[in-house]
Amino acid sequence: MPARLLLLVLVLSAWPHPGIQSVFINRCSSPAPGVCDFVCDCRDCSDENQCGYHKESVALGTPFTCDFEEGDCGWKDVSTSGYRWVTGRTSIAMWGTGPSADHTRGTDLGWYMAAEMRRNTFAAIARLRSPVMRQAAATCEIRAWYRLWETGLNKTVQPALWVELTYDNETITLWQSPESSISAWQELVAYTGRVPGEFQITLSSQQSSLQLDDVEFRSCGLPPPLSLVCGWEERNCNRGSCVQLEQLCDGTDNCGDLSDESTTECRSFTHCSFETGWCDWVTAPDYPTWVRNTSLHLAPAARTPTRDHSSNSRTGFFLYITTGPQDLSSGAARLISPVFQATKTSSCSLVFYSHLYDSATGSLNIYYQTNSVTQLMHTRAGDLGDYWFRGKVDFNVTENFQVGSKPFRCHRNPVITPTPSSTDPTTPCTPEEFTCDNKKCVSAELACDFTETCEDGSDEKYCGTSTFEAGARSWKDISVGQLQWVREKASEGLLPGADHTTNTSTGSYLGVELAPGQMVSVARARTPLLGPSGLACSVEMHYWLHSDPQGFIALGIVDHALGTHRLAWHMQGNGNAEWKHVTVPLGERARPFQLELIALVDLRGPVVQSAAVDDVAFVNCDPRFTPPDASELSCNFEMGLCGWYQDQSDDFAWVRGTGLGLGSDHTTGTGYFLSVDLSAQSTWALSARLITYPQDPPTREQCLSFWYRLDGPQSGTLNLKIQHDGEPETVLWTRTGAHGSMWHLGFATLSRQALQRYRLVFEALRDGYLGDIALDDVTVRAGACGPQESCSFEANACGFSSSWQYTWARQSNATGTATAGPPTDHTVGTARGYYMIVDTSKGSLPRGQAATLSSGQYRPLTHPQCLGFWYQLSASDPGSLTVCVKEKGVQRRLFSVSSVQGDAWRYGNVTVQVAEDWQVAFEVVSAGGELSYVALDDLHLKASSCPEPGHYVYFNASVLGPGGNAARLLSEHLPATTGACLRFWYHMDFPEHFYSGELRVKLNSTAGELTVWCARGHQGQGWRSTTLSVQNTVEFQIVFEVTNGVWPAGGTIALDDIMYHAGEGCNGDGLGQMEAVFVDPEVQHHLSESEACSLNHRLESRGASQLILPLYKYKHMSCKSSFFRTIILKTWMKESVTFQHSFQERVCKFHQTSVISSVLYAFSIVCSPTR
C-alpha cells in the first residue's frame, strides 16, 4: 500500500532556555459539567462512575476503566439491525469457536461485550455508544482490547472494528482495526485530541464473533487547578493549572482554556496552521507536490487523516503528500520555509505535528541549509499510527542566534523532506540487496539473520548487539510521547552515573530521557528485523531501573506477519539503584521479528527516576547452532532443562522450581521439577510446550519414560508428541483430567524410522483454570517399552493387538460418519476422542465368532493390582464381552457381560494377581445383531486390589474457585426403580461459619437432573450418615456433587460406605407421609437453589422423598422491619408442614397462610434484611 506523510501546524518559537465495588453514581451531587469529565470532584470519585468507565477497575487497578465485571458502565447498544452488542461470558467449551477467557481475569469467570449477529442478518453494523463525556484533554487516549474469531471473520468486509468520536454535530473516525489472521486479544489505541465540550464515543463492528473488553480512558482529564505556585519550568493557566514552558504556543490547548495559546502569550512566535493559506511556505520545483486540503475532500479509505490537528475537525486544513510508485523514481517532495533572520543570543526551535500512517518505507526528514551547508537535524520513519504527533527540532547554531525574549527571525531555511528508504548511490547494490562494508552485495533478507553472510560479517554488525560505546547499533527510538530512548554518556545524565561496560562516567548506554511528544506514553525502541532464530536463542543485557512501582522496563517481541506483540520479559519499578543482568529466551522463530524495549519512568517528579540498558548481546541464535546438550533427553531437572527447551511461540511457559505450591518433586522429594499452574495469571492462554532439537534417528527402538501429575478439577491434558522431518506432529501418549496429587509413570516407545530425524514435544493443554500439570524424571533407555499401565487410545492402541481374522478398530466419530459405535469417547467426552470398537453386526462379525484384543507381556506382579476399564454395549444384540488373563498359556476368565440397559459408558474392574509374565485379553463374541457393537476405553492398571471396605473417597474443595464450580462423582448406570434405598456416610471438615459450599446428591437421567439431598457448610466434626429413598422411572445415575460458594475455604469432603439397595425402600424412613414437594411455576423467581437446598434438607427430615427446584433469583418484599420471601408450594400432602428454621439468629416458622386450592399452599419465610 502506498505510504502517506502529512504535516500540520508548524510553529517557529523562541523562549529563554530554562537552564540546561458497589457502583455509586455522583453521591456528592456534583454539577453536570463536572460529571464524566475524567476528574474526581466527589471525594469517592462517584461522579466518574457509569461514564463509559468507572472510577477504577478493581481487577486491573487502573482508573477510568470499564472491565464489564460490574455491568456495562453506561455503554448502550444503539444498533438499528439484528446485529447488536451484548454482555457475554466465556466457556471452556468455546475453545476453537469462541473466546475461552475474557481479557480482564483471563478466565471463564470474566465478562466482556460481544457483537452478536442474529440469523439471516446481512450487511449489518453493531454500534455501542458511550454516555455523554466532557472535556477531553489533548493527551487523551482510548485503550481497549478486542478479539475477533476466524469463525466470524469476513475478510471481504473491512475494517472489522472502528472507533468514532461525535462532537459538535460532527462524527470523526479515530481508529480502524488492521487486517489480522490471529484469534487473540489485541489492543486498540485511539486518540481523541482536545475536545472542549460534550462528546460521545461509538464502537462499531460489521463482523460476528467479535469481543471487546477493558476499555480505558488514559490521561483524559484536564490539569487540575493547584493552590501551589507553578514550578520554574512551568507557566500558570487562567484556570489555575500549570503547563510546561515548552508547551506554550505549540498549537495545542494544553491548559484547557486556551490561555497557553493566547495572542498575548504567543506574540513572539511565528505560527502557521494552514487554515488560511501557506504562510509563505512553498514546495520545491521538480519534485512531488505538497497539497493543502481537508479530510472532507480526501477518500476515507486511503489511510489519510480523518481530521486536522488545529481544530480537531474534518473541516480543518493541513498539508499532505502521497508517495505512490510513480513518485519513488523522482525522489522526495520538499517543503521550504521562508527565510528567518536569527540573532546570536536566541534559541530557535521548530514545533510541528506530523501524520505518518501505514508507511513502512517512507520517512520524514528535517534539514537546515545555508548557501553552502545542508545539515540533517531530524528524521522519523515507519508507521506512527493514525494521529498527529508532536515533534520539535532545536537549531542550536552558534552564529546568527541570540538568546532573548524579543521577536526574532532565523537566517536558516528548515527543509522538511519525506523520502523512501534508499541505498548509497555509489554502490552497485539494488534496493533489494544489502551492501557489505567491502561494497559487496547480499540479499537484504540475509541481513540480521544471526548468520554472517558478508565476508567481513558486516550484515550482522548493526542488528542490536551493542555496548553503545560506538553507537546505538540500529536500536531506533519509535516513541511518540513525552519519553524517548537516547544513547547518552553517563556523565550527561543524573542516573546511572556510570555505564556497565566500562563502569565509568565516560561510558555510554541507552537511557530514557524526556521527549518533545505530547502523549503521556512509554518510551519505545526497536531493532531491525531479525531472524530466523534457533531454538536456544536468547538475548542478554544489563538493565538499570530506579523508579516507583508504577515504573517498569520490558522487552517485547513484534511479529509483523501475525500482527502480534508479546512481552518476553517485564520488571516492575523499585528503589534499587544498580545494574542487573537478565537473560531473556527468544527461542525458535521462523518468521522475521523485532525486539522492542519499553520503559516508563516519571522524569518530572520530585524524586529522580531513571531507566537504561547496556551490553545487549544475542546468544546461540544462529539456526545452524546445536548446543552440546541437545541430545540429553534424560533429565531430572535438578540442574536445568538438559536438552529440553521452552517453545517461545506457544502461549505460556513451563516453570522450573521446587515446591511452587504444587507439591514435592519426584526425584528426591525436595528437588526441582517442571510445572504449569493453570490458575496463575501468567498462564492465561491455551498451551505450554517443551520441545527438543532435532534428534538423529535411533538405530533401534527406545523407551521414553517420565513421571507426571495432573491435579485439580480442571487439570487439562498432557500430550507427548513426535515430529519427523517434513511430517506433522503425531501424539505418542496423552492423559486428560484429574489424576490426583500423586506422581504417575508414563512411557512411550520411540520407533525406529529409517533416516528420519525427529523432535519430541511435551504439550500441556488447559481445559479450565483450576488445576496444575507437573513433569519430572524424563528417561530414555534402549529397547521398547512394555505394555502401558494406562491407555486412553487417544494417541494409539498402546501396544494392544487384535486377532488377525476379526479385528478391533481404533475409532473416533469426529466426522460423524461412523456407522456403528458410541457418538463420543469416554476420555474427553467428545466426538473427537478415540476408543477401541468391534462391529458385532452379522455382516462384520458372524454370529458366534470372536474378536480378541490382547495386550503385550506384563511383568510378574509382586502384589495384587486392579485393572479398570470403561466399556459400552449397543442397545440391541451386542454380543458378549469377556476379560481374561493369560499366564503360562493358561487363560482365566475374570469378567463377562452380555447385555445392559442403555448404551452409556460403564465401568468395570478386575483384581489381577499373577506370579509370571502375563497378558490381558478382551474377547467379544457376536450375537449376529444389526448395527451392534462393543466398545472399550480408558484402561488403567492400579497398584492395589480393586476397592474393598475400609477405604473412603475424598475431595479437597480448596481447588474450587469462587462461584459455580463443581466436582462430581458418578455411579454406574442404574435401572429404573419404584423404590430403592441409598445409604452413605459423609464427612465435611470446614471452618465453622465460613465455608458456603454444598454436598449434593442428584439423580441424573435422560429426563434431566433432580436434586434429592444436600448439606451446606459446617457439619460438625466426625462422620455423619444419611439414608435416602430413591425412585426413578427411567435408567439413571447417582451423582455426588461438591459445589463452592462465593468465598472458598480449605477443607475436604469425604464419602464412605455407600450402599445402594434396589427393589426395596428404606425401613422407617417415613416414605408415604410426603411423597414429593414441587415448586409451582408461579414462583420461579422467588427462591434460590441454595435456599431450595436448605429447604429440601429440612423437608427430607420430615419424610419428603423428593423436591424439584430449579434455579431462581431472589424477590424481596418488605413487611414491618423484616424482609419476606413468599414461596408457593404444591404438595400431595393433606396436612400442613410446620417446622423451625433459624437464619442469622432469627427464628422463623413455615406456616400455612392461605389455601389457594386443595393442593396449593402458601408459605412465608422470614429472612435477614438485605441492603
Say yes or no: 898 and 966 in one domain: no
Which one of 70-84, 141-155, 1062-1076, 1151-1165 scores highest in mean pLDDT?
70-84
Whether 27 is covered by a domain: the verdict is no
Gyration radius of the chain over CA positions:
36
In the numeric block, which cell numbers belong to residue 1109?
A: 427446584
Is 90 exceeded by the pLDDT of residue 489? yes
> What is the model's pLDDT at position 1042?
85
Say which CATH number the domain at 320 has: 2.60.120
**In-domain check, residue 257:** no
Whether 340 and 302 map to the same domain: the answer is: yes
Q: Is residue 610's pLDDT more than 90?
A: yes
In a domain, 794, yes or no: no
- Predicted pLDDT of residue 1105: 36
Based on the fold, state whether residues 451 and 483 are members of the same structural domain.
no
Write down how long the chain is.
1171
Q: Tens of pLDDT along 1088-1123?
A: 555 555 555 444 444 333 333 332 222 332 222 222
pLDDT at 660: 62
Domain housing 539: 462-619
Q: Which three cell numbers stand for residue 1153?
A: 397462610
| Alpha carbons 311 and 388: distance in angstroms, whole number | 12
Per-position b or e across 63-101, b if 16+ CB within 10 A of its CB: bbbbbbbbebbbbebebeeebbbeebebeeeebeebbbb
Does the structure show a pLDDT above 60 at 72? yes
Clarify whether residues 427 and 545 are in a common domain.
Answer: no
Comparing 694 with 369, which gets the higher pLDDT? Answer: 694
Report the alpha-carbon distance of residue 1124 to residue 1168 in Å, rounded.
9
Beta bridge partners of 321: 5
What pLDDT score was predicted for residue 922?
A: 96
C-alpha cell at 987: 464427612
Alpha-carbon distance of 708 to 762, in angstroms, equals 11
Q: What is the DSSP secondary structure assignment for residue 345, as one 8-state letter?
A: B
Q: For the chain, what percent of residues have pLDDT higher than 70?
A: 77
| C-alpha separations of 204 from 150, 298, 756 in Å | 18, 22, 52
Instruction: Report the largest interatomic distance among the alpha carbons of the chain, rounded to a whole angstrom.
Output: 114
Q: Whole-angstrom Cα distance, residue 193 to residue 8?
A: 14
d(Cα 1013, Cα 272) in Å, to the nearest integer? 80
Written as nine digits, the cell of 521 is 506514553
Q: What is the Cα–Cα distance from 953 to 1161, expressed in whole angstroms?
A: 41
**End of a domain among 918, 942, 966?**
942
pLDDT tens-digit map of 279-298: 888 887 666 778 899 988 88
Q: Are residues 54 and 137 in the same domain?
A: yes
Per-residue pLDDT, 966: 77
3-state secondary structure at position 111: strand
Amino acid at 1002: K
In the block, residue with C-alpha cell 413487611: 1119
Question: With bands split at pLDDT 50, 70 and 90, how would you rate the model's confidence at 997?
Answer: low
Strands 3-13 and 270-272: antiparallel
> Quick one: 925 and 985 in the same domain?
no
* pLDDT reading at 438 higher than 60: yes
Same domain, 45 and 176: yes
Phi, psi of 606 (to 5 degrees): -70, -20
Give the mean pLDDT of 493-510: 92
Which pLDDT band, with edges at 50, 70 and 90, does 424 fall under?
Answer: low
DSSP string for 521-533:
--EEEE---B--B
pLDDT exceeds 60 at position 212: yes
Average pLDDT, whole number, for the chain?
A: 78
CA 1098 vs. chain centroid, Å, equals 44
Residues 450 and 471 in one domain: no
Phi, psi of 671 (to 5 degrees): -95, -160
| Number of Cβ atoms within 10 Å of the Cβ of 1047 | 11
Q: H helices of 103-221, where?
A: none
d(CA 349, CA 10): 10
Helices (H), 307-461: 325-328
Cα–Cα distance measured from residue 1056 to residue 1025, given in angstroms and rounded to the nearest whole number? 9
Residue 810 has φ and ψ, to the nearest 5°, of -90, 125
The reported pLDDT for the residue numbered 458 is 92
CA angle 869, 872, 873 (to 5 degrees): 135
List the end-to-end C-alpha distance of the chain, in Å, as a whole number. Answer: 60
Confidence label for 1085 from pLDDT (cuts 50, 70 and 90): very low
| Nearest by Cα to 180 from 163, 160, 203, 210 | 160
Residue 444 counted as domain residue: yes
What pLDDT was estimated at residue 965?
67
Does residue 360 or residue 713 have the better pLDDT?
Answer: 713
Q: Check residue 1171 and give its pLDDT.
A: 26
Q: What is the rounded average pLDDT of the residues 702-729?
A: 89
pLDDT at 1084 over 60: no
CA distances from 822 to 189, 709, 838, 900, 921 (A): 50, 29, 11, 15, 21
Angle at 726 between CA 721 and CA 730, to 5 degrees: 20
Last residue of a domain, one of 199, 218, 237: 218
Q: Which residue has the higher pLDDT, 817 or 720?
A: 720
Give the span between the Cα atoms of 11 and 351, in whole angstroms: 5
**Confidence grade of residue 642 (pLDDT, cut at 50, 70, 90):** very high
**pLDDT number for residue 209:** 77
Do 392 and 496 lie in one domain? The reply is no
Q: Is residue 47 very low, low, confident or very high in pLDDT (cuts 50, 70, 90)?
A: very high
Integer Cα distance of 746 and 795 in angstroms: 13
Q: Which three cell numbers stand for residue 630?
A: 541437545
Q: Is the pLDDT of residue 188 over 80?
A: yes
Measure the CA–CA gap between 278 and 267, rounded to whole angstroms.
20
Claim to verify: residue 376 and residue 483 sit in the same structural domain? no
- Residue 407: pLDDT band with limits 50, 70, 90: very low
- The predicted pLDDT at position 868 comes to 92
pLDDT at 282: 80
Considering only residues 13 and 870, tell me which one the structure prediction assigns the higher pLDDT. Answer: 870
Whole-number Å distance between alpha carbons of 939 and 909: 9
Write out the three cell numbers for 343. Answer: 540573532
Res 403 pLDDT > 70 = no
pLDDT in the model for residue 294: 92
Instruction: Give the model's pLDDT for residue 482.
Output: 92
* CATH at 444: 4.10.400.10
636 lies in some domain: no
Most trustworthy range by pLDDT among 73-82, 113-122, 391-400? 73-82
How many other CB atoms are found less than 10 A from the CB of residue 543?
A: 24
Boundary of a domain, candidates 785, 819, 847: 785
Model confidence at 1020, pLDDT cuts 50, 70, 90, reads low
Higher-scoring residue by pLDDT: 47, 1007: 47
Q: Is residue 1005 part of a domain?
A: yes
Whether the bond between 532 and the residue before it is cis, its omega within 30 degrees of 0, is yes
Kindly state whether residue 634 falls inside one of the protein's structural domains.
no
Number of domains in the chain: 8
**What's the 3-state SS for 867-888?**
EEEEEEECCCCCCEEEEEEEEC
pLDDT band for 1069, please (50, 70, 90 cuts): very low
Q: What is the pLDDT of residue 1137?
A: 31
In this structure, of 42-56, 300-314, 389-403, 1154-1168, the range with the lowest mean pLDDT score is 1154-1168
- The average pLDDT across 977-982 equals 87
Query: How do 865-873 and 880-887 pair as beta strands?
Result: unpaired
- Do 284 and 333 reside in the same domain of the chain? yes
Q: Which three cell numbers stand for residue 56?
A: 477504577
Round to whole Å and give the CA distance between 845 and 849: 6
Sheet containing 801-802: order of strands? 801-802, 850-854, 918-925, 880-887, 890-897
883 and 997: one domain? no
- Nearby residues of 680 by Cβ (< 8 Å), 6 or more positions away: none
d(CA 596, CA 564): 12
What span, in angstroms and rounded, lies between the C-alpha atoms of 655 and 1030? Answer: 49
Strand partners of residue 668: none
User: What whole-number distance in Å separates Cα of residue 1151 and Cα of residue 1136?
Assistant: 8
pLDDT at 872: 92
Structural domain includes residue 979? yes
295 neighbors 307 (Cβ within 8 angstroms):
yes
The predicted pLDDT at position 60 comes to 85
pLDDT exceeds 80 at position 1166: no
Share of the chain above pLDDT 90, in %: 35
The enclosing domain of 608 has a CATH number of 2.60.120.200
pLDDT tens digits, 848-893: 999 999 998 888 888 899 999 999 999 888 999 999 999 988 899 9
Burial of 952 (0-12, 13-18, 19+ CB in 10 A): middle
